[in-house]
Structure 1
C-alpha cells in the first residue's frame, strides 16, 4: 500500500535514534500543526467515543479521497492524532479499511510509548473514520 506524502514526512521525522523526550517534543509539534477546529464544529456527534481525552473528528471526501480534521484537548493526543491523519488523509474508503494502526506507530518508533488507553483511543479514532466512510 502506498503512503500519503505526509506519512513519508512523518516517517522521516520520527525515524532515527531519537530519545523519548525528543519524540515527545516532535509529537507536540505535530499536534500544534493541526488546523484549528471552530468551537461550533466540536459537537457531541463529532466526539470520538472510547477516548479518555476529548477528540473531535470531521471527515470530508475531496475528489474521491478522504480528508480528516481533528482536535483534542490533550497535547500529546493531538500529536498522535496528527500522525494518524498524516497516515490516512488522501486515502480512498477502501484503502482506509486496510490501515494497520499498530504497524504505523511501530514504523514511527512510537509503539512502546503508547499506553493501552492511548492505543485504545487511537483505535477508536480510526474506527470512527471507518464509520464515516461507510
Structure 2
C-alpha cells in the first residue's frame, strides 16, 4: 500500500512523532522511509557562519558551524529512531522553504505518502505565521498524513 514514505523532520517532538509513525507504517507495509530536514534560508544565514567547538572521541578538537552541528544531531536522532524499528532510512537536507523542498523531492522520487507533524497552531497563528503541514497538504500530489500533538 505505502511503499515509499517521506517524513518531514525539524527537530521538534511533533516531527519525531510523525517520523515514528512513518517508520511503523513502513514496517507494517514492508516499505521504505526517507526523512527530510529543510533549513529555511533565514536560519541558514543566521547559523552557517557561527562555529562551535567539538571534541572528537579521539580527543581532537575541531570547529564546525552551528548549522552542521544541528544537522548532525537531527540526522543521528533520525537514524536512532530507524534503528529501533530495524529499518534503514534515507536522510536528506535541503536549504529553502520546507514545503517547496519536500514537493521537489516528491516530484523526483517515488513517494506515495508524506507524513508531517503539526504543532497544533490555531487558525489565527497559521494565518500570521504560516504552517508547513498546511502548505504540504495544499501542494502535495500524493496523500499527506498530519500527526497532531499529544493533548
Give the TM-score of the pair, scaled to structure 1: 0.30
Highest CA radius of gyration, 1 or 2?
A: 2
